[in-house]
Amino acid sequence: MTTYDTIIRGGTVIDGTGGAAQSADVGIKDGLIAEVGNLSGQADQVIDADGALVTPGFVDIHTHYDGQATWSNRMSPSSHHGVTTVIMGNCGVGFAPVRPADHDVLIELMEGVEDIPGVALHEGLPWSWESFPDYMDFLSQRRFDMDLGAQIPHAALRVYVMGQRGADREPANAEDIVQMRELTRQAIAAGALGFTSSRTLNHRSSKGAPTPSLKAEIDELMGVAAGLKDAGRGVMEMISDFVDLEDEFSLLQQMVAHSGRPMSISLAQGLSPHGWKKVLGKIEDAASQGLVMRGQVAPRPIGILLGLTTTLSPFTTRPSFMQLQGLPLADKVAALRDPQRKAKILSEETAPGFARLFELMDEGRKIWLLGDPPDYEPAPEDSLHARAARAGVSHWEYIYDQMLEAEGKTILYTPFANYAENNLDCCREMILSQNTVMGLGDGGAHVGTICDASFITTLLTHWGRDRTRGEQIDLPTLIRNQTQDTARAVDLFDRGTLQPGMRADVNVIDFENLKVRVPEIVHDLPAGGARLQQKADGYLATMVAGEVTYRHGEATDSLPGRLIRP
């Protein structure tokens, strides 16, 4: 009789390949899937999955745990959403390679681009590395609640090679490019899964400086692509504004052709409702030519969380509001309830630096209360502007009052991508494209403004269960999208499916009761820094390499996760 370490019995198995669900047991031995079927063997541990889904662990290819991984063993919020593998180093920002003199440059960049407090980074980063292989060696000694993959970020690489010239976005010379090529090769050889870069003006340091990689010219990018070609493996992740779509996409396409390596490109519906379709069309054309290019997409809006506990509120930059910023929450709420202060704040104008977000809020037409569970496809008639109109009060007064509910812990929500037409139809179309991959959740980043590591739970609940019937997406497709497809997109072939010989990264899910909870602020960053945390109900068990890491959403003592070093 076969003996297993663990048998997961009686679940509805969706194996990550896209195949139909089946009632089966899953046998695990030595951290691997041993067998799937009607198992008669014995096991040291039996997990009852009757009535539950059994899926592969989820693979999140777009996170920013580069700092958190150096001071924490737990990659939350991702770990609360069935994630068993995360890939960090995205958007061209990270902390290696780095010279001691440039620590502040990389911190300021991460603080500005990814909204991670500089004080937490200064306190938490040990800086016991310089080269990218050194950074990998450091991480390889640590233990985590999931596996981590790293990528070499363009901004750090550029500053390491060029110093201040790189930070100032000066063109790279021939010698610079030779060095970048070799350092890229070395990083891939040391275990980096790929190279990432940013070409968007939205990415700026905490001092307002554009990201160092913004204007990198074709010779530099081809040099880095050659480094990937030299290494013989690795993927590329890019984000761009695509101001000139033809020229910009041609550049990215040349990188793929020159390196022979895959590329994913951030793709979302912005203020131009159909601009994403043009980029996706270019990706599809490239794929038809045999180039592996994918759009990296999200299952819901990308939006700003607003309130008194978050970084921003609808009244940020109004002078009488900003005077209260340093107060404890209870004192701030008390001060804001004063009628005279309220009247003064409502009479004041916002500063020019807040104009873009202020315009996006559209006088409350694009602000919603974020309930528990949150509704990420809210109806226009539920906006705070519409509610104010029904209540017969001015919209900003109504928004002000709502912000003070729940003793100031209310979270408001303003989507800025994927919601330009008041629905998520664009997300459905992107999810179902053959040339996209799930991503953009930014786990570990935007700690006071955005909390999208829960994208994965929304993918399953919204599109697999809750959306209008006829517009849902079948669960085998959704599971494959977040397991096999994401793993293969970063060249990981040892995980992502429940097949014999694959890593035993597994979720057992009470799908009927699966739901995302409302985000909340916790103070667990270095130096007592605050960040948004978001949990979920319905994950009965999560396993990494055959060990249970979470039961009913609560962490166990197991830390089987390791740095991935192909």
**Each residue of 162-178: b (16+ CB within 10 Å) or e?**
beebbbebeebeeebbe
Please state, as a whole number, how many other Cβ atoms lie within 10 Å of the Cβ of residue 82.
29
Instruction: Give the pLDDT confidence of 476-489 residue by residue, as tens digits.
Output: 999 999 999 999 99
- By CB atoms closer than 10 A (0-12, 13-18, 19+), residue 340 is exposed
Output the six-digit token pair for 340: 């005279």
DSSP line for 350-376: PPGGGHHHHHHHGGGTT-EE--SS--S
Output the six-digit token pair for 171: 């063109």
Q: Indicate the pLDDT class of residue 77, thresholds 50, 70 and 90.
A: very high
- Are 302 and 418 spatial neighbours (Cβ–Cβ below 8 Å)? yes
Instruction: Give the pLDDT confidence of 109-145 residue by residue, as tens digits.
Output: 999 999 999 999 999 999 999 999 999 999 999 999 9
Give the three-state DSSP class for 194: strand
Give the three-state DSSP class for 263: strand
Q: Mean per-residue pLDDT for 413-441?
A: 96
Q: Mean per-residue pLDDT for 322-337?
A: 96
Strand ranges for 30-107 from DSSP E? 32-37, 42-48, 53-56, 58-60, 83-87
Output the six-digit token pair for 446: 């935007």
Q: Where in the chain is the domain with CATH 3.20.20.140?
A: 59-301+420-491
235-240 vs 194-199, strand pairing mode: parallel
Q: Where in the chain is the domain with CATH 2.30.40.10?
A: 3-56+507-555
* Cα gap 499→506, rounded to integer Å: 11
Fold observed for domain 3-56+507-555:
Urease, subunit C; domain 1 (2.30.40)
Instruction: Give the pLDDT confidence of 383-421 residue by residue, as tens digits.
Output: 999 999 999 999 999 999 999 999 999 999 999 999 988
Q: How many CA within 13 A on the CB side of residue 127?
A: 13
Averaged confidence pLDDT in the chain: 97
Give the three-state DSSP class for 164: helix
Q: How many CA within 13 A on the CB side of residue 242?
A: 22
The pLDDT value recorded for residue 310 is 96
- Are 194 and 237 spatial neighbours (Cβ–Cβ below 8 Å)? yes
Instruction: Report the amino acid identity of residue 308.
Output: L
User: pLDDT over 90 for what percent of the chain?
Assistant: 97
* Cα gap 447→450, rounded to integer Å: 6
CA distances from 297 to 86, 251, 397 (A): 16, 21, 36
* Cα gap 58→82, rounded to integer Å: 6
368-369 vs 412-417, strand pairing mode: antiparallel
Largest CA distance in the chain: 78
Q: Mean per-residue pLDDT for 242-263?
A: 97
* Cα gap 233→147, rounded to integer Å: 20
Output the six-digit token pair for 94: 């990270």
The pLDDT value recorded for residue 271 is 67
Instruction: Give the pLDDT confidence of 210-240 residue by residue, as tens digits.
Output: 999 999 999 999 999 999 999 999 999 999 9
The pLDDT value recorded for residue 41 is 87
- Identify the CATH class of 59-301+420-491: alpha beta
Strand order from edge to edge, sheet including 368-369: 302-306, 412-417, 368-369
